[in-house]
């Protein structure tokens, strides 16, 4: 049974560019949450998607947006990248809207130069 899969694993972008990260949830899960983890820090909540809508949002600017598809997979989009967006982006899926039973993917390492 596949867990949470994220793509790509690594990515290098230039300041001002836009990036799209992808996540496929664990089989049977319908809720996807995204987290940003800066080097040496704990993950920070970006937002959560359920039934193709953003349900919760952390303290992140509108440059961060997302989407959830009917098959429950999700995308995270970041516009106008700046150096401070360099981080590990983690996707977590669960079977309900809460954090219970969260399964994390291995993340996408984004480097902005």
Partner 1 sequence: GESVGLHLPTLSVQEGDNSIINCAYSNSASDYFIWYKQESGKGPQFIIDIRSNMDKRQGQRVTVLLNKTVKHLSLQIAATQPGDSAVYFCAENRGADGLTFGKGTHLIIQP
Out of 35, 49, 64, 72, point to the residue binding partner 1 (CB under 8 A): 35
How near is the Cβ of 40 to partner 1 at its closest, in Å?
A: 7
- Residue 111 contacts partner 1 per CB under 8 A: no
> What minimum distance in Å lies between the beta carbon of 16 and partner 1?
28
Q: Does residue 100 belong to the site contacting partner 1 (CB under 8 A)? A: yes
Question: How far, in Å, CA of 50 to CA of 31, rounded?
Answer: 5
How distant, in Å, are the alpha carbons of 19, 76, 103, 104, 105 from that of 92? 19, 12, 5, 4, 6
Nearest to 56 by CA among 28, 80, 34: 34
Among candidate residues 22, 28, 20, 21, the one with its CA nearest the CA of residue 2:
28
Q: Which of residues 11-30 bind partner 1 (CB under 8 A)?
A: none
Helix (H, G, I), strand (E, B) or coil at 47: strand
Q: Which residue's CB is nearer to partner 1, number 15 or number 55?
A: 55
Binding stretches for partner 1 (CB under 8 A): 4, 33, 35, 40-45, 47-48, 56-58, 90, 92, 98-100, 102-107
């Amino acid at each position: 049974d596949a867990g949470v899969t994220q793509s790509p694993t690594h990515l290098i972008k230039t300041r001002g560019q836009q990036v799209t990260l992808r996540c496929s949830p664990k089989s049977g899960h319908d809720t996807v949450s995204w987290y940003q983890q800066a080097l040496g820090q704990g993950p920070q909540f970006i937002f959560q998607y359920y039934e193709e809508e953003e349900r919760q949002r952390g303290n992140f600017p509108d440059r961060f947006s997302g989407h959830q598809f009917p098959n429950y997979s999700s995308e995270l989009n970041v516009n106008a990248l700046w150096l401070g967006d360099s981080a590990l982006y983690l996707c977590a899926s669960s079977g309900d809207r809460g954090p219970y039973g969260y399964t994390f993917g291995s993340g996408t390492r984004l480097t902005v130069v």
